[in-house]
Structure 1
Amino acid sequence: MPDSTLTLRFEKGTLVLRDVPESDAPHLPAIRWDARVRGHRAPARFYRDIVLTIRKRGLAYRDEARAFQPLEVGYREELQARPYQAEALAAWQENGRQGVVILPTGAGKTILAVMAMAGTARPTLIHVPTIDLMHQWHGVLSKFLDVPVGRFGGGFSELAPFTVTTYDSALIHLDRIGNQFGLVVFDECHRLPGDQYKFLAIGNLAPFRLGLTATPERTDGRERDLYELCGKQVYRAFIHDLTGFTLAPYEVETIEVEMDPEEREAYEEAYAVYVGFLRDAKIDLGGPRGWQNFIWKAGRSPEGRAAFRAYLTQKRLSQAAREKDRAVWLLLQRHREDRVIIFTQDNEMAYRLGRLFLLPVLTHQTRPKERVAYLDAFRDGSYRVMVTSKVLNEGVDVPEANVAIIVSGSGSVREHVQRLGRILRARPGKTAVLYELIAKDTREYFVNQRRKRHHAYQGPDSVPDLQGQDTAPVD
């Protein structure tokens, strides 16, 4: 008789199950009959749940899906967990080694992941958003763990037991690497619910998952998707919980600057056109889908398109008010012995300040070798000031920085917390200062207030706490 043992295989981000007993099929999570393969199919992320159900039902099965085995992992250097790291690690382990840990920037999320990887002892794929972070993670893992560490992306194609990859590279090669790792780590995991990046979690069968972020909240409200893809929120600490211990104490100062008469006149004219259209079209930007409604209506008439141009004009005038140049200069004089990062909303403003004050500028246009040279020079003190648009918002480790000047930014609370986090890594005697420059009597004031609305400054409150499934381990 032909072998009728239930078989699992991995195929392009999915699981194919053959010879599933008819009476058991309704009980296996997420599977659907696929006539093309004459078997059942499910998204790869349900591998853990399917295997656990198969075991509970006492079915004989052959697992041809996973392409990994347990590892022996040791430390090159001993690690001592801080109390909150130990608590976070224990909470993640108790949830079946699945879940999201939320820690402020500078609190040691990478070290937490190192300990999680060593304890789980499975091949691990670490997802990071940028090439800079890929190299940074590679250096930390190589320093502390005695397992080969590879890089996948940015010109590297090294698949090792522990591999650091960019989100984009992992997405391209998901069909061939989605079954090779028992643990997946998603750094800056708030990116995961995006329309494309979500497939990194859906198409990977890893039974163990760790999401790391300082700011899980999303403007589109898809945090719930994050917890479904990665596991529920298992631990959260806030900036004020760690200030003075793990994080440097800090101050935030808002500086309002005047617009010159020419700028003010142009601003008021553009603002009137923009607000007039909102009023006539009965658009409430504070309501559900308010911004999407504005974009939709703006594209349907000449008046709408003029209103959108006016919106961009008033925004540009307030963010790039000329008096901000003088304010930056005065702050640089005040902090001439400090390490200062100047943040702007766009590259144009960043390069303008760089030319004006003869400062190094780091943007997404900066070549990789030049970027490394700039960051190294900033860390060793050769450069005491650096201008950037957005590339330093996320992940890059510059513990020497103690002053940040936000010349312009978005209304995103995530961006605000990320920029603050760049200067919060504790050093002996360090107190961090963040300055925000805003054009007086403009909408930038309200953007400034929105940027600072974040749990980190208000203390813990309710957050999604979705219960996970069965937490019994799968090898």
Structure 2
Amino acid sequence: MSRRTPKLWYHQGTLLLHPPPRGKVWLDFATWDDRVEKFRIPAIHYRALVEALQQEEICFTDEAKAFYSLHLNPRFEMTPYSHQAEALQQWKEAGRQGVVVLPTAAGKTYLAQLAMEATPRTTLIVVPTLDLMHQWYAQLEAAFPDIELGLLGGGSHDRSSILVATYQSAAIHAEALGNQYALLIFDECHHLPTDFYRVIAESAIAPYRLGLTATPERSDGNERELEALIGSIVFRKTPQTLSGEALARYKTVEIKVKLSPKEKETYQEAIKTRNQFLKQKRISLSNLKGWQLFVKESARSQQGRRAMLAHRQAKEIALGTESKLRVLTELITKHSPEPILIFTNDNATVYRISQDFLIPAITHQTPVKERHLILQKFKTGDYKTLVASHVLNEGVDVPDARIAIILSGTSSTREYVQRLGRILRKGNTKDKQAILYEVIAEETSEERTSERRRGDTASKQGQLKIFSPTQKAAEEKGDYNLD
């Protein structure tokens, strides 16, 4: 009796393999499922499984893949910057799997287009916001006018050979998308390693994966999971290394302001109240876990509530001291009528500046149409200055500016790099010199916050080339081919 040929197929976000092939190499990937009486394999292991079966010359029928080749003819081609060409080459040498870390404005979207041209297969691009989804769609439509493009998110539910989706929508439809695309591109890929979004990568059989981000590091440390979901970091550049080449030259100016005697007295008293409680409860605010414990303990007693209120009061004083607003007045006067971006850490300060200085403001509460109108008027020069909190950090196409002022922010390196990136696009100005002002309240927690967000960027200059063992094997074997 002749042995039946094993068949591999996609089923509910996973793979089924039946009847069992000869040999044992495939057992490393498989788990027996009593419900269907077949071996089940995580979809993310599709490439490794197929390579293992092919290496052992085991015959099987592949009914899992529904992706296919495309004929991509770009309408426009630009000579890539050296860092883009190098990043593409490193990604290809790593088996077309991995993460590329480039600062905001360094051309990550065009790098993705180059990766698509080098890997012409059905492609799913995943982005964090609807604004970014439409930006990607517009750029890809201009680049590949003859290819069917689609959107998934914001009311759109297309099925197309190249699909741009939000993380939210892609996660919801992960099982349906899982075997349709050969190339996955994760924009702002630091969003991926969460309990909800990771299913996009885990349910996909895509053999090729590209992650793009300015800062992969996360406060919860889950950036280490990107290697399993996408691949290792294959290329990395910082704003410092690209300054004057692909990005505008820039300088950062730190301005320290003093609290008024009354502000200082109130601040110190509030910090004392908070610290007494932290010491009593043996809580350190040096990490996220400590902060979560503080929030938990502060809700359990009147003393805890007083400590939390004191913490907030001290923070409000440091973030919104009158001295900062006086410096802001001087900086706006100095650089007027140049376009200026002002960033704060809270909406209350945004609205205060907007009212006091008659400056248009954008927060998460700003309606989409109004936000687009404000950004358009800023782009055309009708508005010279714009103030925002966190909403412009990521996922919004901000017009070119040369001056940015950070009045307050978090300790996040990502936020700092993103805000800096808002003024680093060269545009049509050949010798553009960008300036990032950082206004800090002296002798407050803001000094340490500033050091933390800037310190990481200084230590990550240059390029990192890191390969996982599986990527090294892929490099030695050459390009992977499923056709």
Normalising by structure 1, what TM-score?
0.94
- Determine helix, strand or coil for the equivalent of 2:106: coil
Matched positions, count: 474
Q: CA deviation at 1:147?
A: 1.9
Aligned equivalents of 1:387, 1:19: Cα separation in 2: 63
Post-superposition Cα deviations, 1:75-116, rounded to whole Å, max 9, x if no partner, equal 111231211111110111111111111112111111110010
Q: CA deviation at 1:409?
A: 0.8
Partner of 1:36: 35
Partner of 1:359: 359
- Determine helix, strand or coil for the equivalent of 2:284: coil
- Determine helix, strand or coil for the equivalent of 1:452: helix
Partner of 2:196: 196
Alignment check: 8 A CA contact 1:48 1:474 kept: no
Alignment check: 8 A CA contact 2:404 2:436 kept: yes
Alignment check: 8 A CA contact 1:29 1:49 kept: no
Aligned equivalents of 1:82, 1:443: Cα separation in 2: 40
Partner of 2:433: 431
1:11-26 equivalent positions in 2, closer than 5 A: 11-21=11-21, 24=23
Partner of 2:173: 173
In the alignment, is residue 66 of structure 1 matched against residue 65 of structure 2?
yes
Post-superposition Cα deviations, 1:376-430, rounded to whole Å, max 9, x if no partner, equal 2222212221111112111433352111111111111111111111111113231
- Determine helix, strand or coil for the equivalent of 2:8: strand
Alignment check: 8 A CA contact 1:68 1:181 kept: yes
1:57-456 equivalent positions in 2, closer than 5 A: 57-145=56-144, 146-286=146-286, 289-426=289-426, 427-456=429-458
Aligned equivalents of 1:385, 1:287: Cα separation in 2: 35
Query: Which deviates more from structure 2 when the two are superposed, residues 285-294 or residues 394-403?
Result: 285-294
Alignment check: 8 A CA contact 1:32 1:40 kept: yes
Q: CA RMSD in A?
A: 2.2
The structure 1 segments of at least 4 consecutive aligned residues displaced by more than 4 Å after TM superposition are 461-465
Query: Which deviates more from structure 2 when the two are superposed, residues 293-302 or residues 4-13?
Result: 293-302
1:25 and 1:307, CA in 2 relative to 1: closer, same or farther beyond 3 A?
A: farther
Q: Return 5+ residue gaps in structure 1 as ranges.
A: none
Aligned equivalents of 2:33, 2:348: Cα separation in 1: 52
Aligned equivalents of 1:297, 1:460: Cα separation in 2: 43
Partner of 1:473: 480
- Determine helix, strand or coil for the equivalent of 1:284: coil
- Structure 2 residue identity aligned to 1:303: Q
Q: CA deviation at 1:456?
A: 4.7
Q: CA deviation at 1:299?
A: 4.2
Aligned equivalents of 1:294, 1:88: Cα separation in 2: 43
Alignment check: 8 A CA contact 1:240 1:457 kept: no
Aligned equivalents of 2:464, 2:111: Cα separation in 1: 24
Q: CA deviation at 1:262?
A: 4.2
Alignment check: 8 A CA contact 1:16 1:41 kept: yes
- Determine helix, strand or coil for the equivalent of 2:470: coil
Alignment check: 8 A CA contact 1:51 1:474 kept: no
Normalising by structure 2, what TM-score?
0.92
**What fraction of aligned residue pairs are identical, expressed as a percent?**
44
- Determine helix, strand or coil for the equivalent of 2:444: coil
Alignment check: 8 A CA contact 2:253 2:436 kept: yes
- Determine helix, strand or coil for the equivalent of 1:59: coil
Alignment check: 8 A CA contact 2:235 2:463 kept: no
1:19 and 1:71, CA in 2 relative to 1: closer, same or farther beyond 3 A?
A: same
1:458 and 1:2, CA in 2 relative to 1: closer, same or farther beyond 3 A?
A: closer
Q: CA deviation at 1:474?
A: 3.7
Alignment check: 8 A CA contact 1:107 1:246 kept: yes
